[in-house]
């Protein structure tokens, strides 16, 4: 079974500073990788996804992530954060079983932006 490890449970940063949220996955086969964001009292919103092709993936709200197969990592980055980026971020890998897809999530990283 696949697993996802988010290395930081909480990341505090100052507004306009860069941020990196780290994610490692375990898989010996081709993977689909995702980052989701969850704002308070809301569901999950897809930030970006890696299915194949270019290892640098750009998403919404200025976020990007780099797929590194040798390091089995998929770290999320933003060059300059805003107060509105305060949320919980989840890294996920897609696992295919009997033709059905399920998402395996990391434990989440709470990003707090301080003014």
Partner 1 sequence: KAGVTQTPRYLIKTRGQQVTLSCSPISGHRSVSWYQQTPGQGLQFLFEYFSETQRNKGNFPGRFSGRQFSNSRSEMNVSTLELGDSALYLCASGSSGSYNEQFFGPGTRLTVL
Rule CB under 8 A: which residues touch partner 1? 32, 36, 41-46, 49, 51, 90, 92, 94, 96-108
Query: How far apart are CB 10 and partner 1 at their closest, in Å?
Result: 13
Query: How far apart are CB 77 and partner 1 at their closest, in Å?
Result: 22
Q: Is the CB of 46 or the CB of 56 nearer to partner 1?
A: 46
Q: Is the CB of 15 or the CB of 32 nearer to partner 1?
A: 32
Q: Is the CB of 55 or the CB of 107 nearer to partner 1?
A: 107
Query: How far apart are CB 26 and partner 1 at their closest, in Å?
Result: 16
What per-residue string of b and e applies to 20-47 under the rule 16 or more CB within 10 Å gives b? ebbbbbebeeebbbbbbbeeeeeebeeb
Q: Do the beta carbons of residue 73 and residue 20 sit within 8 Å?
A: no
Question: How far, in Å, CA of 30 to CA of 69, rounded?
Answer: 10
Q: Is the CB of 15 or the CB of 110 nearer to partner 1?
A: 110
Q: Do the beta carbons of residue 73 and residue 24 sit within 8 Å?
A: yes
Expressed in angstroms, the distance from the first to the final Cα of the chain is: 41
């Amino acid at each position: 079974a696949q697993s996802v490890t988010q290395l930081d449970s909480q990341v505090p940063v100052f507004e306009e500073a860069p941020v990196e949220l780290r994610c490692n996955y375990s898989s010996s086969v081709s993977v689909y990788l995702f980052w989701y964001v969850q704002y308070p009292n809301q569901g999950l919103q897809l930030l970006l996804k890696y299915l194949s092709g270019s290892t640098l993936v750009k998403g919404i709200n200025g976020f990007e992530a780099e797929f590194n197969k040798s390091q089995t990592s998929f770290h999320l980055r933003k060059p300059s954060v805003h107060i509105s980026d305060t949320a919980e971020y989840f890294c996920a890998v897609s696992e295919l079983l009997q033709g059905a897809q399920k998402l395996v999530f990391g434990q989440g990283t709470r990003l707090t932006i301080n003014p």
